[in-house]
Amino acid sequence: MGAHTYQELEAWQLADDLRREVIAFLDRPPARDDFRFCNNLRDAAGSVCRNIAEGFARRRPRQFASFMVIALGSLAETSDQLLEARHRGFLSAAEHTRLERLSERVRHVSENLLRYLERAARSERL
């Protein structure tokens, strides 16, 4: 049985976990004092969730797949900004590793969902 809401998707759930973790670390100094950095990272992490939700609402595998590609791009941006946060001393090595592992889980599950959607889109054409 498929998901009835986007919140039921494992990809969205993990992306939401990442978003919440990012927001929590951005609320701590010294990161919270760099408003531009915080806004950029918060937006990138949130974009992963928003694109999964919007794609799900389109109700067509091909359209959903397009939004998943965008979500994966936002995830890559989030990962890069987490690396920048580590370089700037906003995250410890252990915190960065933990967030990167979560990011990798989001990527893995999202790529699996994308592959499923691409197969469904191909069979929809037949």
CATH of the domain at 51: 1.20.1440.60
Number of structural domains, the chain? 1
In a domain, residue 13? The reply is yes
In a domain, residue 1? The reply is no
For the segment 22-51, what is each residue's pLDDT rounded down to a tens digit? 999 999 999 999 999 999 999 999 999 999
Distances (CA, A) of 123 to 25, 61, 62, 116, 120: 43, 10, 11, 11, 5
pTM for this model (two decimals)? 0.94
Q: Which domain holds residue 42?
A: 6-125
Residue 45 CB neighbours (<10 A): 29
Q: Look at residue 1 and tell me whether its pLDDT is greater than 60.
A: no
Residue 18 near residue 106 (C-beta atoms within 8 A):
yes
In a domain, residue 59? The reply is yes
- 89 backbone φψ class: left, alpha, beta (φ>0; ψ -120 to 50): left
For the segment 57-108, what is each residue's pLDDT rounded down to a tens digit? 999 999 999 999 999 999 999 999 999 999 999 999 999 999 999 999 999 9
State the Cα–Cα distance between residues 42 and 92, nearest whole angstrom.
18
In a domain, residue 34? The reply is yes
Q: Look at residue 126 and tell me whether its pLDDT is greater than 60.
A: no
Residue 25 near residue 91 (C-beta atoms within 8 A):
yes
Q: Look at residue 124 and tell me whether its pLDDT is greater than 80.
A: no
Distances (CA, A) of 19 to 59, 82, 121: 24, 12, 29
Instruction: Give me the pLDDT at residue 2, please.
Output: 82
